[in-house]
Amino acid sequence: MHAMRAQEQYAPGSVAQQCAAAIAIQPDRDRFKTADGLFGSNPGFRFIGEAGGGAQFQPHGHAGQREDRRQGSEELEQGRWQFHAADVGTRRALRQAGRNREKNMKPIAILAAGAALIAAPVCAQTADPIAQVEAEAERTERVAQQIWQFAELGYLETRSSGLLVDELQKEGFTIRPGVADIPTAFIAEWGEGGPVIGLLAEFDALPGITQSAEPTRDPVADKHAGHACGHNLFGAGSLSAAIAIRNWLEATGTPGRVRLYGTPAEEGGSGKVYMARAGLFDDADFVIDWHPADRNSAASRMSLANRSGKFRFRGVSAHAAGAPERGRSALDGVEAMNMMVNMMREHTSMDTRIHYVITDGGKAPNVVPDFAEVFYYVRHSDADEVRALWPRLEAAAKGAAMGTGTEVDWEIIHGNNPTLPVESLQKMMDAKLRQLEPLKYTADELAWAATIRESLGDDAPELAEAAQIEDYAVLTGYGSTDVGDVSRAVPTVSVRTATWVPGTAAHSWQAVAASGHSYGAKGTQHAAKAMMLAAVELYTNPQLRETAKAEFIAARGEDYVYESLLGDRAPPLDYRK
């Protein structure tokens, strides 16, 4: 009966036979490895396979033999093995044992027959995209926690970027470090042929906000930055998704390449814009993006275009009481500019957003400051409107300097185009998100989340909303992201998952806490699964690829020419120093 089952499993068209055909046989020089990893150490055991269809043992998927490119050595890792015999059932394996001249081979062949019985389900597990992501859960939480502890600011993320690169190198990815003249930017790639699917990985923290993983306000005294936008989760989730995709490509023999783009300084540094400007996305077919959030959504979401700049006023210092007539206050210049810009708001379109912070206003009230600086953001849904608004800020700065007897100059710090959603891709992602099992939390995680919820106000959403998925919709958000420039270079699909307690705002201490907690790691795994399923669909569905690319070209325009809002400036590698 067992023999019959084994033969049925390897019948033409069966899962086992399809898997056996898909998984590459080891080269001759590797095929006759000892089976110590499965059967224990015995120098007399050597499983000999036959090229004409005999039974062979080989590592099962990515859990077997793996090349460590850094050490240049091959290791046999503990993991599943499969019995590969596309045209051999249990009875043939038993016959092989009976006539084998090497006595010590007999027990091995008998055990091989048993392995044949489970070959199909084991192979199916290896080819299961969700199982591939679930196998990365430990990595996701570990890497997210390490980057959360680093909390490095934009363009200074040397340890965070290095950690991701190390993890990718272990899995056989080829690394291109320091791309686009940014030391912490990189591209990691695995595979051959096409399609080429990229994933984005962010990892920069925000200055001026710190918090432990406790569910009550608990600033960390020796820290000056925190992951209040969850970019530690962003980087870790994309890492695990990329490795899972790599393993799925290998296990199934699917042609294609997977890339992970290490993209620093999203928070005000526009790292992806410099990468897009350098043409690093031009040869990718699709890009998959995600972001931590307090809810699950694959809505088609357009962001605002954004340009920022630092306006620096220079005056003359003097004693503010003893010789005020000799001074010319740089701070007066900043305040005069701010007053004029605030009046300008009345005469802008509804989608306009202008905000600023005085980054340097002097050091002592009794000293007329000879230097002051103000940092401005201008946003609008239309990039051309941002370009039109910016000269009005420059005119206000010039007028303020003229009226206060000071001098002014300015530097554009960053600029992002609005995102360009592709609805065929977003609807596909929405469907994939709905295929996933809802997020489930432990009792301790729910108690932790309940305490967080108490800090969010009386109208905070119920905790159960973390397991729900928002209805698909076409939306315009009022934030900005450098993903916008990526989405104008290559068709891009995005998803958001509940890594924070429902009702949590980005850039809050509650977001920092969740990003450093297992609660956030679970939402990150959810995102990795959605990205995995989307990638599989793109690799295997040529009709979707064709439809999405046609939609992308139509939305962007046939005569589209990319223009960044940064001009030709070099990356501001010191903007956070």
Contact 157, 203 (CB under 8 A): yes
Check residue 337 and give its pLDDT.
98
Which domains are present in the chain? 2-127 (no CATH), 135-303+418-556 (3.40.630.10), 305-416 (3.30.70.360)
Q: 104-108, 252-256, 547-551 — which is least confidently predicted? A: 104-108
More confident: 159 or 19: 159
Contact 192, 242 (CB under 8 A): no
CB contact set of 15 (below 8 Å; sequence gap of 6+): 9, 120, 123, 124
Check residue 336 and give its pLDDT.
98
Query: What tens digit of pLDDT does each residue of 375-397 get?
Result: 999 999 999 999 999 999 999 99
CA dist., res. 385 & res. 348, Å (int): 10
Q: What is the rounded average pLDDT of the residues 182-187?
A: 98
Check residue 221 and give its pLDDT.
94
pLDDT band, very low/low/confident/very high, at 126 (cuts 50, 70, 90): low
Neighbouring C-beta atoms of residue 13, cutoff 10 Å: 6
More confident: 123 or 171: 171
Bridge partners of residue 412, in order along the sequence: 309
Query: Which pair of structure tokens corresponds to residue 518?
Result: 């297992």
Q: What is the rounded average pLDDT of the residues 414-437?
A: 97
- Strands (DSSP E) along 193-304, which ranges? 196-201, 206-207, 225-226, 256-262, 286-293, 300-302
Is cis: bond before 195, omega within 30 of 0? yes
**79 burial class (0-12, 13-18, 19+ CB within 10 angstroms)?**
middle
Contact 320, 368 (CB under 8 A): yes
Check residue 125 and give its pLDDT.
46
Query: What tens digit of pLDDT does each residue of 490-517 get?
Result: 999 999 999 999 999 999 999 999 999 9
Check residue 477 and give its pLDDT.
87
Check residue 577 and give its pLDDT.
85
The answer to whether residue 329 scores a pLDDT higher than 70 is yes
DSSP-based three-state secondary structure for 100: coil
Check residue 41 and give its pLDDT.
37
First to last CA, the chain: 72
More confident: 410 or 121: 410
Contact 474, 300 (CB under 8 A): yes
pLDDT band, very low/low/confident/very high, at 194 (cuts 50, 70, 90): confident
The answer to whether residue 74 scores a pLDDT higher than 60 is no
CA dist., res. 131 & res. 134, Å (int): 5
How do beta strands 286-293 and 492-498 pair?
Answer: parallel
CA dist., res. 258 & res. 134, Å (int): 18
Check residue 455 and give its pLDDT.
98
User: What angle is formed at CA 453 by the lines to CA 447 and CA 457, rounded to 5 degrees?
Assistant: 155
pLDDT band, very low/low/confident/very high, at 52 (cuts 50, 70, 90): very low
Neighbouring C-beta atoms of residue 448, cutoff 10 Å: 21
CA dist., res. 278 & res. 352, Å (int): 29
More confident: 466 or 97: 466
Contact 525, 140 (CB under 8 A): yes
Query: What tens digit of pLDDT does each residue of 350-370 get?
Result: 989 999 999 999 999 999 999
Residue from 574, 539, 543, 573 nearest 245 by CA: 539
Neighbouring C-beta atoms of residue 527, cutoff 10 Å: 31
Check residue 1 and give its pLDDT.
38
CA dist., res. 570 & res. 567, Å (int): 9
Query: Which pair of structure tokens corresponds to residue 503?
Result: 């009702």
Query: Which pair of structure tokens corresponds to residue 53?
Result: 């269809």
* DSSP string over 557-570: -TT-----TTTTPP
The answer to whether residue 80 scores a pLDDT higher than 80 is no
Q: Residue for token digits 């994933």?
A: 199
More confident: 577 or 198: 198
The model carries a pTM of 0.78
Mean pLDDT of the chain: 84
Alpha-helix runs per DSSP H in 171-307: 231-252, 266-269, 271-277
**27 burial class (0-12, 13-18, 19+ CB within 10 angstroms)?**
exposed
Q: What is the rounded average pLDDT of the residues 5-22?
A: 37
The answer to whether residue 338 scores a pLDDT higher than 90 is yes
